[in-house]
Amino acid sequence: MGSTWPRFLFILVSLVLVSLVTWAIGGALAAMAVLAAGLLLMAVVHYWHIAALRRWLRDPAPDNLPQGWGVWDLIFADLYRMVRQQRQSESVLTATIEEFRQAGAAMPDGMVILDAQDRIEWCNPGAAEHFGLDGQRDRGQGITNLVRQPQFVEYLHAQHYGEPLLLRQSRGADFTLSVQLVPYGDRQKLMISRDVTDLERVETMRRDFIANVSHELRTPLTVVGGFLETIMDVKDADRDLVRRSLPLMMDQASRMRRLVEDLLTLSRLESPNNPPREEPINVPALARALYHDALALSTGRHRITLDLAAETWLTASDEELRSAFTNLISNAVRYTPDGGEVTIGWRLRGGEAVFSVRDSGIGIEPQHIPRLTERFYRVDRSRSRETGGTGLGLAIVKHVLNRHRARLEITSELGRGSTFDAVFPEERLLAPSVREALAHSA
């Protein structure tokens, strides 16, 4: 701006001097004509530059800026710098918005931006999945037109956003969302949704677990307490009464001890600070030992056979593997009627190793099979108590196999028996050369 006035004054002074010279030579009329012609030329030049500026303003691209003369050259140079700075600012702002959109799209939580009238301005894919929204189609729609649960509408209008709202959705499969509104700006809101289905399921399992443990302990404690009260109430306790009571109390105490031991085992298996202590396991030798344990548990009531079709060893935890296999075998013996068959097997199948326990017992209905490894889940609660089970055996099996990257496969037919296969991946199998070296060193 500082160099604009000198240029303008220079042109104006030059025009006046030329007019004075013309006056001295040709008189006043000639001087006026020269002055008028100069002013007219300046007006034409300015009008031409103004017209060029107006044309450029219709499409203000920096590369299309017209060339100027005199003061207009400075004006166009200033405009060029302003437009370049604006374009750079727009580029930075566009990149920032794009980064925000990408970050929002990558968020596992749902995000919806609502305007002052609770209309959708933007949503990420998480919110689209949670609420069935379409980011393009639903823009400008009122959120209550698309999320119509009464509790959500009440939460939105109450404007008490300190605590999240638990919203149960049902589209194909039931799931639970935690929804929270965060006000910001000029009455705008950010709606954040999170799928808490697994957390709710864990909380339900925790409540069920506590209820089941309490229920399982209540019966034996009641029995033991009842006998003790009876003995205490009798001044001279009958020896025969004591003799009859003690075995029953011992039985209930053993039941509580087994329950506590299984709970401690589960806790140990679930602890991330307790990785499995792995070592080479001679599974055929382990299977033979468990076969003899099964014979002792059956006491001759069943036909128990051992089918070793492989000599493969595993890399695993001996204690955990023994616990899992023992649970499978003891379940088969308990739930197989007298005279039935139980077969313990070890074989290779398509590169994997399979420890199987097959029985000819009562079988399991298909709807129960997916839930068998849940804690305290029983197909027949009364029969489970009669057999002395704690309801935690298959849960222990599942956790042991998970820790060894193995899986449990269950097949059953009602009235014809069940087969439980513990399937170990190929990377758990020891190479024959290693197995032979270990066998010779033993």
SS (H, E, C) 65-110: CCCCCCHHHHHHHHHHHHHHHHHHHHHHHHHHHHHHHHHHHHCCCE
Distance CA 101, CA 124 (A): 8
- Read off the tokens for 79: 């405009």
CB 156, CB 144: distance < 8 Å: yes
Residues 314 and 434 in one domain: yes
Nearest-10 crossing angle of helices 283-298, 318-334: 30
Residue range(s) defining the domain that contains residue 222: 203-270
Q: Tokens 């709710």 belong to which residue?
A: 200
69: burial class by Cβ within 10 Å (0-12, 13-18, 19+)? exposed
Residues 87 and 144 in one domain: no
Residue that terminates a domain, selected from 221, 250, 270? 270
- Read off the tokens for 412: 């059953």
Residues 300 and 425 in one domain: yes
Q: Number of folded domains in the chain?
A: 4
Query: Is residue 116 classed as helix, strand or coil in its secondary structure?
Result: coil
Residue that terminates a domain, selected from 95, 118, 146? 95
Share of the chain above pLDDT 70, in %: 83
What pLDDT is recorded for position 435?
A: 61
Residue 102 in domain: no
Flag whether pLDDT at 249 surpasses 70. yes
Residues 313 and 435 in one domain: yes
Residue 268 CA, chain-centre distance (Å), reads 24
Residue 112 in domain: yes
Residue 100 in domain: no
User: Looking at residues 208-226, what average pLDDT do you find?
Assistant: 73
Single-letter residue type at 395: A
Residues 178 and 210 in one domain: no
pTM, entire model: 0.55
Residue 154 CA, chain-centre distance (Å), reads 28
417: burial class by Cβ within 10 Å (0-12, 13-18, 19+)? buried
pLDDT tens profile 322-331: 999 999 999 8
Flag whether pLDDT at 385 surpasses 80. no
What pLDDT is recorded for position 426?
A: 92
Residues 187 and 81 in one domain: no
Residues 288 and 426 in one domain: yes
Residues 291 and 149 in one domain: no
CB count within 10 Å of CB 249 equals 18
Residues in the chain: 442
Query: Is residue 376 classed as helix, strand or coil in its secondary structure?
Result: coil
Distance CA 302, CA 305 (A): 10
CATH number of 341's domain: 3.30.565.10
Query: Is residue 282 classed as helix, strand or coil in its secondary structure?
Result: coil
- Out of 76-80, 332-336, 438-442, which region has the weakest mean confidence (pLDDT)? 438-442
CATH number of 224's domain: 1.10.287.130
Single-letter residue type at 382: S
pLDDT bucket at 422, cuts 50 / 70 / 90: very high
Residue that terminates a domain, selected from 195, 228, 261? 195
Residue 101 in domain: no
pLDDT bucket at 1, cuts 50 / 70 / 90: very low
Flag whether pLDDT at 420 surpasses 80. yes
- Out of 126-135, 161-170, 227-236, which region has the weakest mean confidence (pLDDT)? 227-236
pLDDT bucket at 418, cuts 50 / 70 / 90: very high
Residues 434 and 296 in one domain: yes
Flag whether pLDDT at 4 surpasses 80. no
Residues 6+ apart with CB under 8 A from 414: 362, 363, 364, 365
Residue 24 in domain: yes
Residue 167 in domain: yes
